[in-house]
Structure 1
Amino acid sequence: MNMLASNGQLRASLLRWALFTVPLIVLLGFLSGQSGSPESAWFQSLDKPSTFPPPATFGIVWAILYVLIGIALALVCAAWGARARPAALVAFVVHFALNLAWTPTFFGAQQLTWGLIVILLVDVTLVIVIALFWKVRRIAGMLLLPYLAWVLFASVLNWQFLQLNPEADGGLPGGATERVRIG
């Protein structure tokens, strides 16, 4: 017998990792979301792109994506013998830190330009993470594909917000401008 661990031991290891990574990813995503809100007067005053979905969509989609991300991470964490595992985990930490930085940048600091830069870095690092996760466990890479589709869509939205509201970008000289509609 050439196996270091039985199938049951491998499933137990994956389950233990998932019980840690899924709540952790969901919690970190929730905490990042508390640093800024689409309910702010600043965001409410922005012109919205025609592709902007109903606000409730974001909470539902992110909850599902964070669970998928946590499961994908658990699959990689449980793959003890995989050569690409250390690189995949380091790339994931860098990527997820960027992911968590977007909300405070875009909503909290009201920086549309910097938000776009951060989300483009999220896009690039996510492609790297998917490639590395794929090497460790193909299913882990596949679980991140809906996440990639969503952040690419979010990147387009960020760019559209910047195009429609250049005067509201806190990254421009003179600071953010808050518009209020009357009537």
Structure 2
Amino acid sequence: MNMISFLMLLGFALAAFAAGFTGAVFRPGEWYKRLDKPAWRPPDQLFAPVWTLLYAMIALSGWLVWRAGELSDAALPLTVYTLQLILNAAWSPIFFGLHRVDLAFFEIILLWLSIAATIVLFYPISPGAAVLLLPYLAWVSFASALNFAIWRRNPFAVRF
């Protein structure tokens, strides 16, 4: 791997983990602890390691497309990739910061759609990059169901 390739991999890693940084800033806290949550919710300790692995896979996926594609071929896929990182970064401030479980649900649906679009756009350029995003899509699918269940169980818990 040459220096430019290494620096781009580092850049993709920084971008992915920067998206995850909002989750470290906007933490569950007492408000979240008081919410009625479904029994199938995983323990809080599981989220950080899962997201760490997912962000590493997201970074590697973007880098593989950058490396494999011509700029003209990769421009749209990497733009959608950037959009999904922005949507990923926005969820924690909406859910945990604003306490808007309802808005967070609609936002996570947009995130899910952007991840699915990224996978579809990545596949022709780098099938491996697309496959690396499948666990992310699965986890966000689960998180969407959890977000919805929490919203349904706590319809008056949102701040207006």
Q: What's the TM-score bracket when you normalise by the shorter of the two chains?
A: over 0.9
Deviations 1:152-179 (A, max 9, x none): 0000000000011111022xxxx3xxxx
Which of 1 and 2 has higher RCO (CA within 8 Å, sep 6+)? 2
Counterpart in 2 of 1:135? 124
- Structure 1 residues 130 and 80, CA gap change in structure 2 (3 angstroms): closer
Q: In 2, Cα distance between the equivalents of 1:19 and 1:122?
A: 23
2-structure distance, mates of 1:145, 1:124: 13
What is the Cα deviation at residue 80 of structure 1?
A: 4.2
The letter for the 2-side match of 1:161 is I
Residue 21 of structure 1 aligns with which residue?
A: 12
Shift of 1:16: 3.4
Cα deviation for residue 118 of structure 1 reads 0.3
Q: Is the 8 A contact 2:13 2:55 kept in 1?
A: yes
Cα gap change, 1:134 to 1:14, in 2 (>3 Å) = farther
1:74-97 Cα deviation digits (max 9, x unpaired):
111122426531110111111211
Taking structure 1 as reference, are residues 96 and 24 closer, same or farther at Cα in structure 2, changes over 3 Å only? closer
Mapped partners of 1:34, 1:44: distance in 2: 16
Which protein shows a greater Rg?
1
Conserved 8 A contact 1:83-1:136: no
Structure 2: which 5+ residue stretches go unaligned? none
Deviation at 1:22, TM superposition (A): 1.4
Quick one: distance in 2 between partners of 1:87 and 1:23? 20
TM-score by length of 2: 0.93
Instruction: Report if the CA contact (8 A) 2:26-2:97 is conserved.
Output: yes
Greater fraction of residues in helix: 2
Scaled by the length of structure 1, the TM-score of the pair is 0.81
User: 2: distance between equivalents of 1:83 and 1:136?
Assistant: 11
- Secondary structure, in 3 states, of the residue corresponding to 2:47? helix
CA shift digits 1:103-162 (9 cap, x unpaired): 000000000110000000001111100011112111000000000000000000000000
